[in-house]
Amino acid sequence: MRLNKYLAQCGVASRRGADDLIQRGTTLVNGTMVLDPAMSVSDSDEIKYDGQIVKPVKQRVIYILNKPKNVITTVKDTHGRRTVMEYVPSGVRLAPVGRLDKDTTGLIMLTNDGKLLQFLTHPKNRIPREYIVEIDGIITPPQITKLKKGLYIGDGEYGRAEIVSQRKVKGRSKVLLRLHQGKKREIRRMCYHLGINLHHLKRIKFGPITMSNLKIGEFRGLTEQELKDLDALIKKR
């Protein structure tokens, strides 16, 4: 199999993420650094990522974490900032499913299942994510129309969102918003281009998985029903 697929099955990253990691010189095959993600490898080869031997996942592990503010959604940070990995057990190699920027709180999944990670984050699968957005004023009907149709958010990209509901509280509104792609800082960029003052952003749902009553900084494993819901989603798509 290809080296990038091998790393994905080891839970290191999605296949696309593994491409980048390999090209950075993080991976050795039988003691030799390899920069080609398409290189063919087998179980008989010794594969090292970041200095450690990695093997394909035998037991699937999935956690959900209520990410605090000012925590980075990455496995490591070269600037010494706190990462989501500090909040979950370290006995299993895990990778975050997608990203939340440091100022955004809420649901982040972490798993050692590279295939699941790839499925949930690939744009073609359009896995819905839901957020609570706290803003000044309200999102007006013309703005709702623009969000639904898609608006330019810079860097050659367009953002789209569905407003599920909004509730006004003392001059501000709490808006339930749904995305189907999840571009980098997409909601913040959409609000900026619409002139909306955003105060707080929290993800509460990813696909069929909701955060339930987790406190900030708490994590838990998925229930049997949640695992079945994820598997059903994969089969459906």
Kindly tell me if the per-residue pLDDT of 181 is higher than 90. Answer: no
Q: Do the domains 3-53 and 128-206 sit in the same CATH topology, yes or no?
A: no
pLDDT, residue 153, reads 96
Assess contact for 29 and 63: CB atoms under 8 A: no
List the one residue out of 228, 121, 23 whose CA is nearest residue 236: 228
Q: How confident is the model at residue 8 (pLDDT cuts 50, 70, 90)?
A: confident
E strand or H helix that includes residue 220: strand 219-221
**How far is C-alpha 234 from the geometric centre of its chain's CA atoms?**
17
Q: Looking at the domain that runs over 128-206, which CATH code has it been given?
A: 3.30.70.1560
So where are the chain's domains?
A: 3-53, 62-123+208-236, 128-206
Distance, in Å, from the CA atom of 226 to the CA atom of 204, rounded to the nearest integer, reads: 15
pTM, entire model: 0.79
Residue for token pair 């080891």: 10
Q: How confident is the model at residue 113 (pLDDT cuts 50, 70, 90)?
A: confident
Q: Which of 45, 101, 136, 231 is catalytic?
A: 101
Model confidence pLDDT, tens digit, residues 121-180: 988 999 999 999 999 999 999 999 999 999 999 999 999 999 999 999 888 999 999 999
Q: How far is CA 229 from CA 161, 183, 232, 233, 234, in A?
A: 24, 24, 5, 6, 9
State which CATH number among 3.40.50.1360, 3.30.70.580, 3.30.43.10, 3.20.20.100 fits the domain covering 62-123+208-236: 3.30.70.580
- What is the residue-wise DSSP string for 138-158? ---HHHHHHHHH-EEEETTEE
Q: How confident is the model at residue 228 (pLDDT cuts 50, 70, 90)?
A: very high
Assess contact for 95 and 12: CB atoms under 8 A: yes
The predicted model gives 52-59 an average pLDDT of 82
Residue for token pair 């037991």: 59
pLDDT, residue 135, reads 97
Q: Looking at the domain that runs over 3-53, which CATH code has it been given?
A: 3.10.290.10
pLDDT, residue 234, reads 84
Neighbours of 56 (CB within 10 A): 16
E strand or H helix that includes residue 32: strand 32-33
Active site residue 103: no
Kindly tell me if the per-residue pLDDT of 58 is higher than 80. Answer: no
